[in-house]
A and B are shown apart, each in its own frame.
Chain A
């Protein structure tokens, strides 16, 4: 019995070390000064801690961090609100064919976006939003609606229909029921959808790099990739940059992990 426990702890300990290895690499190499960055010393503690890398990474990435924030906040909110309305209809006001419409909407979550990329870019050029953050926000809202609809629909299905019926008998209309009865109950679903969307949109790379070619207006993921691919940038700056770019979603995960897990499971199964 104790041997089994020992093996269990050994296995778990080993896996934790393996999972934290990349985090360790990021942390210790981000706090070196430029002169002590070396390929041979990658795994070693720096002899002294320096914030040089972070200062430089911040200088280079802060405009793009701002772009990411300006993009992600409205995009996450708008796609969640649309998802809430859709989920409400698809769960509480089903009509003939509504299930088919839901399936057609949901399919949009699963396609490789490469298949819509060229028309999307042409369309954004046509409406003069190509290369702009509003264009990117529009893109994320449109392609985010399917998954937010799924999240809200799965949440509303578990709210008893009798609540809606009682309100309609009292004379409340479809919008009124949503506003007065459903919305106040939706806080957990909003938390899940907003976090899911925040993480997805913040971490997006494909839309950022194709819809916004101008480096000044690009989100942070694209700027980080450029930083990492540039030979003139020191390695400590790249690692500090990776931490800076990862921090917002990492903090959301550490602070609100419960909702995060719920979001990924509901986005994953039981369509």
Chain B
């Protein structure tokens, strides 16, 4: 019996073996190889796998590139805008649907529907909605807003959306006060206006997912808890703010982590909707990697940027996985 058990244990391992080998090669082996490429002199079509001297020079070059600095800024700004919007909209929708109402299924399906589409479809459509010559800007004419503005002697409202190179709320001044080298920044540290439409499109696509996560969590809150809070005299607002939303914290954390992982590697949506944007206003690391590897043949640079992306996502994902596994074992 013990012997049979021992055998079957190893049989289990053998069954896993194909997937384990594939993972070892295609995930860990390839990550190692990418990292190695990032340390080499391979920066033309001709493969050159000699190590650079100094070894980290490609990373130094990359961090000094205004384009890559813009990418880092854009990732931070996009992440904050997108996650802020998606979580608040998603939570709002879940709360609206957290009751017995007619057509609940219809509403839920409508809000979740965009999640089934590809980022390319989303990008293609929203690109037109935010095209300065049509789309949203037509509403400012239809609604008479522009006529009113002109009558008041002001310029009509015609935002350039994804074509706007402006960076607002620049903090360069502030940064230069706390960091001596600050005045030599080659880019404006602020909010690129062109990223706002991209964050809105991403919210359209993913807020339904956030809603679904929260609806799952809300379904697990027992009616007794709601009743108890009501007996204590809590109104709707109070009930959600002080009782229900705090109870949903684990869901919020999971959701934010999933969205972080989407936003740190966002590629297709930006690629289809705005590309790199004016003055790299909507460029992101994933597009940088793609262009360095498949357009510019700067392989070591592309590999270095991809490793930076990997580290950024790992900082989010690894603690989450470790926590989940520990939690489960205890």
- Which residues of chain A have a CB within 8 Å of any CB of chain B? 4, 8, 11-12, 15-16, 19-23, 25-26, 29, 39-40, 42-43, 82, 85-86, 88-90, 93, 95, 98-99, 101, 103-108, 110-120, 123, 142-143, 145-146, 149, 168, 173-175, 199, 202-206, 209-210, 221-222, 224-225, 228, 235, 238-239, 241-242, 245-246, 249-250, 252-254, 257, 260-261, 264-265, 268-271
Contacts and interface: CB of A to CB of B under 8 A. Distances in A.
Given A118-B299, A118-B302, A142-B22, 11 more contacts: A43-B138, A89-B16, A98-B16, A99-B329, A101-B20, A107-B318, A114-B290, A168-B8, A228-B272, A253-B112, A264-B212
B107 interface: yes
> Helix, strand, loop or mixed for chain A's interface?
helix
B136 to A, nearest CB: 10
A249 B115 CA distance: 10
A225 B23 contact: no
A194 to B, nearest CB: 14
A203 B119 contact: yes
A271 B325 contact: yes
Contacts of A225: 120, 123-124, 271-272
B26 A142 contact: yes
13 contacts: A43-B139, A86-B16, A108-B23, A114-B309, A118-B34, A119-B37, A142-B26, A205-B267, A205-B268, A242-B124, A245-B118, A249-B117, A261-B212
> Helix, strand, loop or mixed for chain B's interface?
helix
B113 A205 contact: no
Interface residues of B, number: 96
Contacts of B31: 111, 115-116
A120 B26 contact: yes
Contact of B120 (A114, A120, A221): A221
A257 to B, nearest CB: 6
Contacts, number: 254
Contacts of A106: 321
Interface centre among B121, B216, B294, by most chain A C-beta atoms within 10 angstroms, is: B121
